[in-house]
Chain A
Amino acid sequence: MEGALNATDSSTLGVSGARKPPATLRRSQRPRERLAGWPIADRVAWAACWVVGVGVSLVTAAIVLLMAVKGIAYLHPALLFEHPSAAVAQSQSGGFLDPIEGTLLLTAVGTAIAAPLGVAIAVWLHEYGRPAGLARATESAIEMTAGGPSVLFALFGLILFARPVLAFLSQTSAGGSVSGRSFLTAGAVSSLLALPLVVGATREALAQLPARLREASQALGKTRARTIRKVLLPSIRPGIAAGVVLGMGRIIGDTAIVIFVLGATLHLTPAGGLPGLSALRGEGTTLTAYVRYNSPAGEGLAPNKAYAAAFVLMLIVVALNFAVVRLGSGSRRKRPFARWRPARAGSAQ
């Protein structure tokens, strides 16, 4: 036996001897699925998935393409920096600087309210949830908000914020009636649209966290509050960011609230108070309202500008999504939360 072993090159048997890596490497690849062996139902489902996937992609691509072609055709830089004006002729109705500013401002106010509130509600519901009755009530309220039509919130907001007590949030006419319309009030109402999405995403993310993360922190003598703030929330930043993006999308896309509670005016109408913040108490409009108004379905009679504005709206949405997702994942180096994955059990050095 020994002899047989020795007959071959014993130096390469049983121990690694080669000093140089082989010249050719075969990379492992995902093996190709063989449909042939699948049950017929699975094959149909597989085909259906493809059809639906491709179909949705095509529709999305068509929308983007149409917006891009039409938008770019009518978009020129001046439109972005000119105030709109009330002219009948399309060539004289100015740009859409105000709607752009309005969109950004309203989204900022709405998100600034919805994001912290939503995260707080989700943490409370998921980590504490007591008293149980209140938690259940909150849950159903959030669910109803998620399904509620925005025009309902808009109407409610308009009535609520026209109360004299809340006059400081908007403007008061010479006659003493409170308008109830401003970026603050509209932002507050809009936040209702984003809130359930932030709450949902945050709860979902919290539920996904392994229990041992909580245990590890508490075993170090950290309070639950500290654990939530320093371990749990940082770990779910991507999840929160995803919820915020969805919420912002709902705020940006809504028109009812803009028309009811923001005024859907031609220009932003800053109203007294602190410099820079004066716009918050004033009325204004957004790109969605502008597009609706100028589209063939509206009264503004500037369809070309509607296309251009819609294109800009799309760019803003994409940019905001990108920014928030980036914010959520942070830099990979300093904040490796995004790279969450379970510990590899049994792995060697």
Chain B
Amino acid sequence: MNQDPRLAPPVRRIIPRQAGTVVEPRSEPAPSAAAAVASAAQPAVEPGVQSGAWQDPVDMPAPPRAPTTTHSNVVERMRLESVWLAYGDRWVVRDVSLPVRQGEVLALIGASGSGKTTLLRSLNRLTEITAGAARAGHITLDGEEIDGLEANDLRRRISMVFQQPNPFPMSVFENVAYSLREERAARRRRRRAGLPGRGPRGDQLRASVVEALRRAGLYDEVGDDLDRPALGLSGGQQQRLCIARSLAAGPEVLLLDEPCSALDPISTATIEELIVGLRESVAVVIVTHNLQQAVRVADHVAFMHLGELVEYGPSQQIFEHPRQQRTRDYVSGAFG
């Protein structure tokens, strides 16, 4: 692997409002562990961490805690190939390749600072609104490069829920309705694409709001008064409201960044149940530093360490028979 001194790839530096500038961050020799893993492991065993040639993991054993998953309805929606991410000169994600599938939950685990959030944010190009962030590599949604899609359309298809609940300072209803109402530019694009050119309004809007709240498991708690201020809800309710808001946009992929880290166990259980229930209709990617949570909700797990994807595989494999020593060390914390 020392004979493989791959340099960090050229990167399109993302500066808000000034796309297209090509800057080369400080190159550093990057035959990092991810590459080491890639060349050391046999492709058939670890397709997830392969960079370059892609092999579909067809014969994955069903994960233990996901009895409802039948592989017939698991569809690959996104694919990351050799994704590199940097802030300024510092690479924080190095050469990550992963599939994101609908019908299952993918958990990103790893210590703080290992680049999980950054990787997640790159999936819907939210890194672009962070000054100094840069990306290289390919990310596709249904085979299409996400860079080729209009950013706001992309973000409606790939929705994100953040670590801290961040409802808007409006009523519960308005929070959800906000993501349902289409803005003019989006309406125009939709009309051009032959879709109905408007978000729902009136009774239809209300029905959609209620539906989203139901899906997020919040309706029973707030249904009696949707006009109450969202900031008056408890932390767990706020986070479910944020999930409802994301679901209302009708996403195909739902990104959750440690959605339960600020919540109590009961709220956490509610949200985990919700996540497992969602995976049939959306591809779910959840970042968590709570290993028990990953065991509970994930079908596939990706373990990241210091920006590198160390191991990717079915949940059972990662937690019970990890192939990498570093994974073993990390997940051993999960079971004592």
Interface residues of A (CB under 8 A from B): 128, 130, 210, 212-223, 226, 230-231, 234-235, 333-337, 339-341, 343-349
Contact = CB atoms under 8 A, between A and B. Distances in A.
16 contacts: A218-B126, A218-B129, A219-B155, A220-B178, A220-B249, A221-B156, A221-B179, A223-B185, A234-B169, A340-B169, A343-B235, A344-B234, A344-B235, A345-B235, A346-B263, A348-B266
A207 to B, nearest CB: 16
B236 to A, nearest CB: 6
A343 B231 contact: yes
A343 B171 contact: no
Contacts of B171: 334, 336
B229 interface: yes
A72 to B, nearest CB: 42
Nearest to B178: A230
A235 B166 contact: no
B17 interface: yes
B152 A346 contact: no
Contacts of A130: 17
A215 to B, nearest CB: 7
Nearest to B157: A221
B164 interface: yes
B169 A346 contact: no
B159 A231 contact: no
B169 A337 contact: yes
Given A336-B229, A337-B169, 14 more contacts: A210-B166, A219-B155, A220-B156, A220-B179, A221-B154, A221-B155, A222-B179, A231-B168, A235-B168, A335-B170, A339-B229, A339-B232, A346-B262, A347-B234
A21 B157 CA distance: 51
Interface string B164-188: 1111111100000011000101100
A349 B227 contact: no
Given A210-B166, A219-B159, A220-B246, A349 B186 contact: no
Contacts of B267: 348-349
A130 B131 CA distance: 14
A150 to B, nearest CB: 37
A57 B169 CA distance: 35
A112 to B, nearest CB: 26
A343 B178 contact: no
A214 B267 CA distance: 25
B264 interface: yes
B160 A343 contact: no
B166 A216 contact: yes
B165 A343 contact: yes
Interface of B: 17, 124, 126, 129, 152-157, 159-160, 162, 164-171, 178-179, 183, 185-186, 227, 229-232, 234-238, 242, 245-246, 249, 262-264, 266-267
B170 A337 contact: yes
B227 A216 contact: no
A219 B126 contact: yes
B186 A336 contact: no
Contacts of A218: 126, 129, 152, 155
Ranked 3 nearest A-B pairs via Cβ: A336-B229, A221-B156, A221-B155
A76 to B, nearest CB: 47
Contact of A223 (B126, B183, B232, B237): B183
A216 B160 CA distance: 8
A332 to B, nearest CB: 8
A210 B164 CA distance: 11
B271 to A, nearest CB: 13
Contacts of A216: 162, 166-168, 242, 245
A349 B168 contact: no
Nearest to B249: A220
Contacts of A215: 126, 129, 162, 166
Nearest to B263: A346
A182 to B, nearest CB: 38
A345 B236 contact: no
Q: Which of B153, B168, B230: most chain A CB closer than 10 A?
A: B168
A221 B166 contact: no
Contacts of B186: 221
Contacts of A346: 235, 262-264
Contacts of B266: 348-349
Contacts of A336: 169-171, 229-232
B164 to A, nearest CB: 6
Nearest to B168: A231
A221 B152 contact: yes
Contacts of A344: 234-235
B231 A219 contact: no
A333 B172 CA distance: 12
A223 B183 CA distance: 8
